[in-house]
Copies of this chain bind each other. A is one copy, B any other.
């Protein structure tokens, strides 16, 4: 980016001169004003007001070695399937909490491994105090890269087994899945199928585990594999109906796949929920409410997770600074909630 307009802004020096104090005192006032006589502090604040002084962040960073910024790393190709609600809500939560902490959000949009170098350099450049990332794929190189950059980072979603112990925020995928399946059991269903998500994403794995927690002796033929897309849900449903035409319920690992399943059930003339009850996961409102019939699903508080990621990062950062033993960083698991609609 080329140069900027030269409209020079007032410096702390100018403020100090105007207030008739030293730069040091002016600095103290600007940074909270502890230990400065009231009368002087007022004068400084007045000068700040009159001059329209705004601290130069670069100068401040240079000496404090803090940027006041946090990177949010978005791996776009993976985020796409979640489309609007997920991304927007998560970023909103993060943004809100960051704002509350007077920190800035720097968006690092990763399109592929080709961007890794750039990201690594940026992280290492001390541009940000910490980072927020989403561990969507188990085998992704991103977590490793972030670890090497040695920037305090909190993950959204439990990282895969390959990753070292890192702090993360996730919803209770396994518990939520259990709740969903128990709900189906409570409805009297006896042949409950599962449409699983990708095997390399921990959320999908955990949800499948939850299913098995309740139905530990379920027929393996009652589980089909999807990839979180609607089409894959439709395919999986068709497969399940072929293998076990007698099934009377299905728990899909996300709403999109549940929507695909509903479509197939409708096409095959199976009545939902009478003949087959369906439960999804996520509560993507746009999907769940417009599904026919509307989808019973497990809700997770995505925005809240975003906010918690920031809080957790704040804690990690202050630990680091204190030089205290960091130890195994605490992670946070958020509760889920069953939202009953028409499909089960």
> Which residues of A are in contact with B by a Cβ distance under 8 Å?
1-7, 9, 52, 54-59, 61-62, 65-70, 72, 76, 80, 83-85, 87-88, 91-92, 95-96, 99, 101-109, 111, 115, 118, 121-122, 124-127, 129-130, 150, 152, 286, 314, 317-318, 320-321, 323
Stoichiometry, as copies per complex, reads: 2
Residues on the B chain within 8 Å of A130, using CB: 1, 4
Residue from B9, B102, B286, B317 within 8 A of A4 (CB atoms)? B317
Give A72's nearest chain B residue, CB to CB: B107
Residue from B57, B121, B129 within 8 A of A54 (CB atoms)? B121
Residues on the B chain within 8 Å of A121, using CB: 54
Interchain CB contact under 8 A, A124 and B1: no
Give A68's nearest chain B residue, CB to CB: B1
Interchain CB contact under 8 A, A88 and B92: no
- A174 → chain B, closest Cβ, in Å? 28
**Given A4-B321, A57-B127, A320-B5, A104 and B80 touching (CB < 8 A)?**
no
Interchain CB contact under 8 A, A1 and B317: yes
Q: Label chain A's interface by main secondary structure.
A: mixed
Interchain CB contact under 8 A, A321 and B59: no
Interchain CB contact under 8 A, A2 and B88: no
Give A5's nearest chain B residue, CB to CB: B320
Interchain CB contact under 8 A, A9 and B126: yes
20 contacts between A and B (CB under 8 A): A1-B68, A1-B103, A3-B65, A3-B66, A5-B320, A54-B124, A54-B126, A59-B62, A83-B84, A83-B85, A84-B84, A91-B107, A92-B109, A95-B109, A96-B109, A96-B111, A104-B106, A104-B127, A106-B106, A107-B107
Residues on the B chain within 8 Å of A62, using CB: 56, 58-59, 62
Residues on the B chain within 8 Å of A72, using CB: 107
Residues on the B chain within 8 Å of A1, using CB: 66, 68, 70, 101-103, 129-130, 314, 317
In whole angstroms, how far apart are the Cα atoms of A67 and B87 in the complex?
Answer: 27
Interchain CB contact under 8 A, B84 and A125: no
Residues on the B chain within 8 Å of A56, using CB: 62, 125-126
- A272 → chain B, closest Cβ, in Å? 20
In whole angstroms, how far apart are the Cα atoms of A104 and B122 in the complex?
Answer: 9
Give A58's nearest chain B residue, CB to CB: B61
- A104 → chain B, closest Cβ, in Å? 6
Residues on the B chain within 8 Å of A314, using CB: 1-2
- A333 → chain B, closest Cβ, in Å? 24
Interchain CB contact under 8 A, B109 and A58: no
Residues on the B chain within 8 Å of A52, using CB: 124
Interchain CB contact under 8 A, A4 and B129: yes
Interchain CB contact under 8 A, B2 and A125: no
- A260 → chain B, closest Cβ, in Å? 13
In whole angstroms, how far apart are the Cα atoms of A6 and B313 in the complex?
Answer: 17
In whole angstroms, how far apart are the Cα atoms of A150 and B6 in the complex?
Answer: 11
Interchain CB contact under 8 A, A106 and B109: no
